[in-house]
Amino acid sequence: ALAEKQEYLFLTKSDLVSSAEVKKKLTALKKISKNTMAISVHDWDSIEKVKKILNKIKDKKLADVD
């Protein structure tokens, strides 16, 4: 069951390094999982994207229970 679940990788604290470094790390992580994104508490859009992902997972779980 766990192997069938969709995986997400988040590169956190992306505001602490250069955009070139973030891009380099994301490229490496995307080889592991296509659902990879950089996030930072200082980037409202990235937080909103994570929130959408988590809400989608929650909604799917709730739908599966019904």
What are the pLDDT digits (tens) for 42-59? 999 999 999 999 999 999
Q: What share of the chain is helix, strand, coil (3-state, %, to 5)?
A: 60, 10, 30
What are the pLDDT digits (tens) for 1-44? 677 888 999 999 999 999 999 999 999 999 999 999 999 999 99
pTM of the complete model beyond 0.75: yes
Q: 3-state class of 48 per DSSP?
A: helix
- CA 41, distance to chain mean position in Å, is 13
